[in-house]
Structure 1
Amino acid sequence: MTSSSGSSVTSKVLALLEAFTPDASELSLSELARRSGVSLPTAHRRAAELVEWGALERDADGRYRIGLRLWEVASLAPRGLGLRDAAMPFLEDLYEVTHENVQLAVREGLEVVFVDRIAGRDAVPVWTRVGGRFALHATGVGLVLLAHAPGEVQEEVLGSPLHGYTPKTVLDPAELRRMLADVRKLGYSVSDGQITVDALSVGAPIRGPGGEVTAAVSLVVHAGTAQPTALAPLVQAAARGISRSLAAPGTGRVFPSD
């Protein structure tokens, strides 16, 4: 269905949902209309429908926020659901051994999407959240996923302007190519101070039933407290365990250490 203005009802509903961000998780109706580019009357009608269905909730002050029903539906996404179920025992083991931040992520286009994480109480603060997105070139999981991405994805990322999060973020395409080659050779990635200067991340690839890299797991610690070579075997062991869990039952597939 398309409205008289040429914009479909669906696109307007999606624009309303896209208006919410981690920094704007609660919005008034006028804010919702302005951020989505939808007229105030249309925003009012569509928001009411979304509230009725449960995609949005409205508090006593009339402000809107994402509703639980939307989260319930999103949690059924097969790439996240099966992966999280398979990964959780190994993520928990990795956390128990280290009491540091443990993260699980997949690639969506040119970005990393975090599908699960365990945060250590005294661990280094991180910017990531479940459902959050980051560029591929700077995080531990992102470097793993980029290193194993199709060539055209790598070229698009390396050929685009790269965001520098800190002075240590690697922005030179030639240096990044060398880093990606090392990830494939060594079987793990290292992101040292590239997102925040006080954090060191070590990531490793998770393989699907066909042996393809489908996800990545990482450990994030305070920079300077451990050598990447000491953390890598722990992260790689978790990644291999998750990979075995994702393999078809009874195949007995043995995954390489990369």
Structure 2
Amino acid sequence: MLARAFRLLDAFTPDRPELSVRELAARAGVPRSTTHRLVGELLAWGALERGGRGVRLGVKLFELGAMAPTPNRLVESASAHLHTLREVTGLTANLAIREGDHVVYLEKIGARDLRVPHSRLGGRGLLHATGLGKAILAFSPQADVDTYLERPLLSLTRATITDPDALRTELARVRRAGAAFDLAESFDGLFCVAAPVRDRRGFAIAALSVTGATARSQAERFAPAVIATARALERALSSAAS
């Protein structure tokens, strides 16, 4: 029953933040009678709240998420670095970690003039289709990379790398350069550059990037600033751990 409750919560998306019980049952694949009962329990607990035409995620989930220790410590350490990176580049600065086959955006320091659609705070992106994801994959244990490349690589744009051998070559380039690029691979017309944030073993625990470059040459121009910021964050995290 707990798994079904999780499926109900996972049915909400940024474009559908509010759902009726009927819609919720259909999207989660849970019988309507069961959905109705679980919705009542989730409302009572605070995981859901009533909206104008259905239910939506409740404040209780936000309160629980705010207590997650690792992301919070990471965001606190990264905040000043991301603000500086945004000021230096004039682009949106991002911080993300890996969760399964995706990156999850923990922080975004926006640039006012950025009009190209891109992900939201708390949103997800495919590892192989984002600069952040490729930066993390390139500095992950080889077994993790091999497991990821065993599954089909979805195409988001015409530029998305979907061939496993081509992606291996790209990840090798990222390891040599210390930076990964998203050259209109997640959204048409959107370019970004990312760098890994590594632990003492050299494995990526997160990545940061700037998003909003309008050409490859512009993204490449900002690579040194992104790499330097990632290294500064690594030193800050190491000092905090000590």
Deviation string 1:136-175 (CA, Å, 9 cap, x unpaired) is: 1121101101111221221122232111111111222222
Asked if 1:68 is matched to 2:59, the reply is yes
Q: Which runs of 5+ in 1 are unaligned?
A: 1-8, 252-258
Q: Distance in 1 between matches of 2:98 and 2:59?
A: 25
Match of 1:45 among 19, 27, 37: 37
Q: Distance in 1 between matches of 2:241 and 2:20?
A: 53
Is the 1:209–1:246 Cα contact (8 Å) retained in structure 2? no
Asked if 1:16 is matched to 2:8, the reply is yes
Deviation string 1:174-225 (CA, Å, 9 cap, x unpaired) is: 2211111111111111121111221111001112355432000011123227
- The corresponding residue for 2:101 is 110
Q: Structure 1 residues 124 and 149 mapped into 2: Cα distance closer, same or farther (>3 Å)?
A: farther
- The corresponding residue for 2:176 is 185
Number of residue pairs the alignment of both structures matches: 242
Within 5 Å, give how 1:141-180 maps onto structure 2: 141-180=132-171
Q: Tell me, what secondary structure is at the counterpart of 2:87?
A: helix
- The corresponding residue for 2:75 is 84
CA positional deviation for 1:11: 1.4
| CA RMSD of superposed structures (Å) | 1.9
Which region of structure 1 is more displaced relative to structure 2, 48-57 or 207-216?
207-216
Which region of structure 1 is more displaced relative to structure 2, 239-248 or 36-45?
36-45
Q: Tell me, what secondary structure is at the counterpart of 1:227?
A: helix
Q: Which runs of 5+ in 2 are unaligned?
A: none
Q: Distance in 2 between matches of 1:124 and 1:204?
A: 23
Which region of structure 1 is more displaced relative to structure 2, 124-133 or 135-144?
124-133
Q: Structure 1 residues 52 and 198 mapped into 2: Cα distance closer, same or farther (>3 Å)?
A: same
Q: Distance in 2 between matches of 1:89 and 1:132?
A: 21
Q: Which amino acid aligns with 1:25?
A: P
Q: Distance in 2 between matches of 1:216 and 1:43?
A: 38
Is the 1:200–1:220 Cα contact (8 Å) retained in structure 2? yes
- TM, length-normalised to structure 2: 0.92
- The corresponding residue for 1:93 is 84
- The corresponding residue for 1:120 is 111
CA positional deviation for 1:35: 1.8
Q: Which amino acid aligns with 2:111?
A: G
Within 5 Å, give how 1:229-240 maps onto structure 2: 229-240=220-231
- The corresponding residue for 1:219 is 210
- The corresponding residue for 1:26 is 18
Greater fraction of residues in helix:
2
Displacement over 4 Å in runs of 4+: none
CA positional deviation for 1:49: 1.8
- The corresponding residue for 1:208 is 199
CA positional deviation for 1:46: 1.6
- The corresponding residue for 1:241 is 232
Larger radius of gyration: 1
Q: Tell me, what secondary structure is at the counterpart of 2:96?
A: strand
CA positional deviation for 1:104: 0.8
Q: Tell me, what secondary structure is at the counterpart of 1:206?
A: strand
Is the 1:101–1:124 Cα contact (8 Å) retained in structure 2? no
- TM, length-normalised to structure 1: 0.87
Q: Structure 1 residues 134 and 69 mapped into 2: Cα distance closer, same or farther (>3 Å)?
A: same
CA positional deviation for 1:60: 4.1
CA positional deviation for 1:124: 4.2
Q: Distance in 2 between matches of 1:123 and 1:48?
A: 41
- The corresponding residue for 2:128 is 137
Q: Tell me, what secondary structure is at the counterpart of 1:162?
A: coil
Asked if 1:59 is matched to 2:51, the reply is yes
Identity in percent:
39
